[in-house]
Amino acid sequence: MIDNWLSKTKFKKLIEKFVKKIFFGRISANKLTLIGLVLGLSSAFFIFLSAKIQYTCEFVIIAAILMTLSFFFDALDGILARLEGQTIFGGILDIFCDRTVETFIIIALISTDPELLVWPGIFSLGAIILCITMFLVVGGAIKAEELDETQKVIYYRRGLMERFETFIFLMIITLIIALRLIFLWLFAILVFITAILRFRDAYLIFKTKSNMSESE
């Protein structure tokens, strides 16, 4: 939701100018995506270390900084891709890297207190699987000429929990150790609701198409 709101503000134009000036012609969108992946995995590694070594606070802060940078580069790669000319592989790489970072961060968070966080962690990962399944099923069923809504090479249906909301939750869960159980459960529930809403959207989309075909 926040992603959609930001895309309609002046902030988007400022970021586009920044990307065009700093990155366009100097580095590819796919390389930015991979940089975001490395930073995200590094964040997960420091979260894991925070429960194994005595410098817990320091490692949590480092993890939060790396997570923020990972999200930042992930936001920039899409803008750069639109300037360069989007490719299907670039879209696939972006999805793969995003889900990989989220998965490893959640696993790292679980590892900090397995007995307490294992169940909300499992439900979170399961909900993410449901979301990406709906994403792939609906995207595969939508015809290429209907991609104009999002101007992406891979069809993307807006949802309750998108990339920015996920970043906020993972950041809160990482930084506020005492509330990790509560926020991880809340994250799992919201992602599951997002999957259900996408299923509902798919039903409405194809029901409408079916009715239109019958009327013709």
Band (49; pLDDT cuts 50, 70, 90): very high
More confident residue, 89 or 149: 89
Grade residue 216 by pLDDT with cuts at 50, 70 and 90: low
Q: Do 161 and 143 touch, CB atoms closer than 8 A?
A: no
Query: What pLDDT is stored for residue 145 in this prediction?
Result: 45
CATH number belonging to the domain at 2-215, selected among 3.20.20.10, 3.40.50.720, 1.20.120.1760, 1.10.357.10: 1.20.120.1760
The band of 4, judged by pLDDT with boundaries at 50, 70 and 90, is low
And the tokens for 214? 């019958």
The answer to whether residues 158 and 1 touch, using CB atoms and an 8 Å cutoff, is yes
Most confident option among 14-23, 58-67, 204-213 = 58-67
Domain ranges of the chain: 2-215
Distance from chain centroid for Cα 1: 12
Q: What is the 3-state secondary structure (H, E, C) of 177-195?
A: HHHHHHHHHHHHHHHHHHH
| Residue range 54-111, pLDDT digits in tens | 878 999 999 999 999 999 998 888 888 888 777 788 888 998 999 999 999 999 999 9
pLDDT at 198 over 70: yes
Handedness of CA 118, 191, 168, 95 (dihedral sign): positive
- Residue percentage of the chain with pLDDT more than 70: 81
Q: Which helix (H) or strand (E) holds 15?
A: helix 10-22
pTM of the model: 0.83
Q: Tell me, what's the pLDDT at 150?
A: 46
